[in-house]
Amino acid sequence: MSDAVRTDAAPAPVGPYPHARRVGDFLFISGMGPRQPGTNAIPGGPIRDANGDALDYDVRAQTHAVIQNIRTVVEAAGARFDQICDMTCFLIDMDRDFTAFNEVYREYFDTVQPTRTTVAIRALPTPIAVELKAIVYLGDG
């Protein structure tokens, strides 16, 4: 009925779930952040330190890393990046980060043009500013 997708080339999930799950002609990619596989380093820096104090961070660097992580999972599942049909985007600070996030997002998705929902949230499970969730349509070759 469905197949879980896991890859060591992407950062490990922070909970009991796979990177993605294939169901019929669709691939559902779990929420993915910018952490780097193996090290969990956060490009652009974390949003807070170990004490919970706010830090300056680079949302552009985080956005590039998140999109690369999504690409890694898409390709590990045997799909193509241009088959992404829907994106859900989570930002912890819409006022601060939306414009820069959009500039980077456009670099990757200007021609792909998946549908998109972007929401502001209070926090994510790790000290990151952006997370993406994707749906990939595997049909049409």
| Cβ within 8 Å of residue 44, ≥6 positions away | 34, 57, 58, 59, 60, 61, 62, 65, 129
In which domain, by residue range, is 48 found?
2-137
pTM to 2 decimal places? 0.95
Q: How far is CA 13 from CA 25, 45, 95, in A?
A: 23, 19, 28
List alpha helices for 10-120, DSSP H: 59-76, 94-109
pLDDT digits (tens, 9 = 90+) for 39-94: 999 999 999 999 999 999 999 999 999 999 999 999 999 999 999 999 999 999 99
Token digits of residue 23 = 């169901």
What 3-state class would DSSP assign to 16? coil
Question: Looking at the 3D structure of the chain, how many domains does it have?
Answer: 1
CATH of the domain at 71: 3.30.1330.40
